Amino acid sequence: MLRYLNAFLWVCVCWFALWCSAPAQAGDEPFNGPANWGGTGLLETPTARVMPEGKFRVGFSQVDPYRRYYGAVSPLKGLELDGKVTEFLGVTANPNSSPDWEGYGNDKDKSFDLKHQFLAEGKYRPAVALGIMDPHGTRKFPSQYLVMSKQIYPFDFTLGFGNGRYGKNPLPAQGEGFRVEILSDPRSWLEDSQFFGGIEFAPSERFSFILEYSPIRYEKQTGDSAQAKYFQEPVPSKWNIGLRWKPVDWAEIDVSWQRGEQLGVNLSTSFDLGKPLVPIYDHPWREKPEFRSDPLAERLIRALYASGFRDIGIEASGDELRVEAANDRYFYTPAAVEVALRVLAQIVPPEFTTLRLTLTDRGIPLVALTALREDVCLFHQEKLTANQLYALSDGLKTDINETLAAEKHYRRYFDYGLKPEFQTFLNDPSGFFKYRAGVSGWLSLTPWRGGSFIAGLQGFPLNTVSSSNEPLSKPVRTDNVPYMEKNVSLSMLMAEQIRKFDGEIYGRLSAGMLEVQYGGIDGEIARPFLGGRLMLGLSGSVVKKRDEDDPLKFKEDDWKDTYTTAFVNARLNIPRLESAIDIKYGRFLAGDRGTRITLSRFFNGLELSAWYSWTDTDGFSDSHNRGYHDKGIAVTIPLRLFKGSDSRTVYKYSLSPWTRDVAQDIDHHTSLFDFIGRNTGIYLDKDWRN
């Protein structure tokens, strides 16, 4: 032990000597590869390095007896979040020898960590980060640490100090809620913590070598499921070595020798969130010579339809030409406006001095812009920039509620959508990983402004969902397994009316079979304030459970006849960070009252979200729901990232426990906050400039 301590002190002395004596190449790359658990680090220990903002990483690692499946993301500059599932090889999960757990296999643990690099590396100062590992639940791998890293290229030196996993003693489980000893009890954190560190040497951007000192006392980590079977004695060595290789920019392979006895492998891939895999390009429209003698309205309608618009109306009023159209292609509204203006510039004759363009959705006017024809033509000829045209126009207006009386051409009465589906059912005693994969689709008829009739169908040719759990005391979601077990189901059959009132007040009323498990009536009102920085609204529903076997009937023998929800909703948009905070306060499906907060981050169409709830769970008599906080993550993926051309289509996927009834709401086909989306003053101005 003394030999290891002397060696580590020698590393520390060298580290400080190099830090004080030499200039540095500031920055985290290329020393921001994944540690065993997926967060940026060496092998068993973290560094102060983080992934670049907007980077996402997924991977797999195995160092017996641990097998990990992980994902990590940097939603904001300097902040890194990672989540993982750890499988303890050879350690069977079977609490109380229950037969319900026979199909579960090896014990497994879910956990998440965060790291904030609050001081970036400078010429002479190191990068410094605070990390919080596994602060919630069973806390099998908890720690809080401070770590600093200094790059003297091609070397990167790290020294850290942490408790828990890296400390002298294990930390207790937490259950619901969070425990962070470095904040709640800094004295005990300081007394329990130990040093860790290492060196990474990168002679090339494609590969590097790692030497690491890990202070983990495996034999004392009694919260670790592997300890009792594998770590009765201290491990042979606290020194680890590894080779990190990047054969291509988006993939990494790590091979290591850890604890003096185990070969380790770590495979990962990373990519930039929101960056199209195929460059987005839409061919600009050009009018064919044989059409130039056609009537003006006919030429405009044909050109706008070919450019990605529907529900097109044309109306002349003196020297002003008014055009109304529904954007059917472009993800960003300013992009649609720009395309339409370029079309108008090529066709509209000089007798019209003013052009007014209104964009609609389901016949509801969302955005309008008025500009001089001369300015639009100069913009099309690239004699004015987009920002100059915007300054000369009256800007994109959202406080509009009038539509043209003119006949609409290429009217979209019918619409449809298809979505690849992959839904997971995690941590059931009968098997940790259950899933169903298939496709869902919907068809809608819009016979009048804002009104739709919608039918949805979903099919799952691959479906392994089942459960040995019984529904809990107030089942609103824990009894959904019979619905999930079906390979084909009618997901919705409903009518929906959306209306925009004066003062930018939106209303929605939906009725019918609203989702797979519930049917009834659902309503909502919403309004943006402060140019869209804030949205406020009210919503509520009265629903019944659907019959599992007859898609057009309601359940008769349910524990409760009807379920009611009522919420006050708010969304705070933060355009500078491309982030939003959603708050839903009120009564949830099971009657529990409280709040759900959702944090979202937007990356060029792709959106990451995470939510957490606080509700009064005293009404539940079972221990699983009482004191529980509903939580989950979601991602919204735009089709435009893969298509090679623009598209408004997005796919939303979420991951959360299906085995709780706390803070549950019905699924909504349309949310008014999302219907309004970025069509508010603050975002329209930003998107136009960008």
Q: Is the pLDDT of residue 14 over 70?
A: no
Please identify which residue in the block is written with the tokens 């008025």: 370
Whole-angstrom distance, CA of residue 416 vs CA of residue 167: 56
Q: What pLDDT does residue 26 have? A: 54
Beta strand spans in 225-333 (E): 239-248, 251-258, 262-272, 309-317, 320-327
Whole-angstrom distance, CA of residue 553 vs CA of residue 513: 9
> Taking a C-beta distance cutoff of 8 angstroms, is the pair 475, 660 a contact?
no
Residue spans of alpha helices (H) in 121-185? 181-184
DSSP string, 586-626: EE-TTS-EEEEEEEEEEETTEEEEEEEEEE--TT--STTTT
Q: What is the mean pLDDT of residues 480-503?
A: 95
- Residue burial 7-22, b: 16+ Cβ < 10 Å; e: rest: ebeebeeebeeebeee
For 44, phi then psi, to 5°, come to: -100, -10
> Taking a C-beta distance cutoff of 8 angstroms, is the pair 197, 15 a contact?
yes
> Taking a C-beta distance cutoff of 8 angstroms, is the pair 424, 655 a contact?
yes
Report the alpha-carbon angle 80-83-87, nearest 5. 145
Q: What pLDDT does residue 535 have? A: 98
Token pair, residue 69, equals: 């499946």
Report the alpha-carbon angle 597-439-333, nearest 5. 55
What percent of the chain is predicted at pLDDT more than 90? 86
Q: What pLDDT does residue 20 have? A: 40
CA distance to 52, 100, 314, 486, 620, per residue, from 341 (Å): 37, 64, 14, 49, 58
Q: Is the pLDDT of residue 222 over 80?
A: yes
pLDDT tens-digit readout, 515-567:
999 999 999 999 999 999 999 999 999 999 999 999 999 999 899 999 999 99
Please identify which residue in the block is written with the tokens 């066709």: 347
pLDDT tens-digit readout, 120-163:
999 999 999 999 999 998 999 999 999 999 999 899 999 999 99
> Taking a C-beta distance cutoff of 8 angstroms, is the pair 523, 541 a contact?
yes
Query: Out of 6-20, 31-45, 51-65, 106-120, which region has the weakest mean confidence (pLDDT)?
Result: 6-20
Q: What pLDDT does residue 95 have? A: 66
Q: What pLDDT does residue 96 have? A: 65
Q: What pLDDT does residue 231 have? A: 96
Q: Is the pLDDT of residue 17 over 90?
A: no
Q: What is the mean pLDDT of residues 75-93?
A: 94
For 46, phi then psi, to 5°, come to: -85, 165
Report the alpha-carbon angle 630-636-638, nearest 5. 175
Q: Which amino acid is at 388?
A: Q
The model's pTM: 0.90
> Taking a C-beta distance cutoff of 8 angstroms, is the pair 205, 30 a contact?
yes
User: Which strand ranges, in their side-by-side order, compose the sheet holding 320-327?
Assistant: 309-317, 320-327, 354-361, 364-372
Q: What pLDDT does residue 18 have? A: 40
Q: What pLDDT does residue 468 have? A: 82
Q: What is the mean pLDDT of residues 324-333?
A: 96
* Residue 203 banded pLDDT, cuts 50, 70, 90: very high
Higher pLDDT, 7 or 398: 398
Whole-angstrom distance, CA of residue 593 vs CA of residue 663: 8
Token pair, residue 305, equals: 């339809």
296's enclosing H/E stretch is helix 296-306
Token pair, residue 280, equals: 């987005």
Beta strand spans in 375-428 (E): 414-428
Whole-angstrom distance, CA of residue 115 vs CA of residue 447: 52
> Taking a C-beta distance cutoff of 8 angstroms, is the pair 357, 336 a contact?
no
Enumerate residues 6+ apart whose C-beta is below 8 A from 552: 490, 493, 513
Domains and CATH numbers, the chain: 2-94+105-272 (2.40.160.40), 289-410 (3.30.300), 414-685 (2.40.160)
The residues pairing with 509 across neighbouring beta strands, listed in sequence order, are 497, 523
Mean pLDDT of the chain: 92
Question: Pairing relation of β-strands 488-501 and 320-327?
Answer: unpaired
Q: What pLDDT does residue 655 have? A: 85
Report the alpha-carbon angle 281-283-286, nearest 5. 160
* Residue 425 banded pLDDT, cuts 50, 70, 90: confident
Q: What is the mean pLDDT of residues 289-310?
A: 94
pLDDT tens-digit readout, 588-624:
999 999 999 999 999 999 999 999 999 999 999 998 8
Whole-angstrom distance, CA of residue 166 vs CA of residue 224: 13
Token pair, residue 387, equals: 């920002």
pLDDT tens-digit readout, 38-58:
999 999 999 999 999 999 999
Whole-angstrom distance, CA of residue 37 vs CA of residue 140: 13
Q: What pLDDT does residue 3 have? A: 42
Q: What pLDDT does residue 160 have? A: 97
Q: What pLDDT does residue 97 have? A: 63
Closest by CA to 425, choosing from 113, 112, 104, is 104
Q: What pLDDT does residue 1 have? A: 39
Q: What is the mean pLDDT of residues 416-422?
A: 93
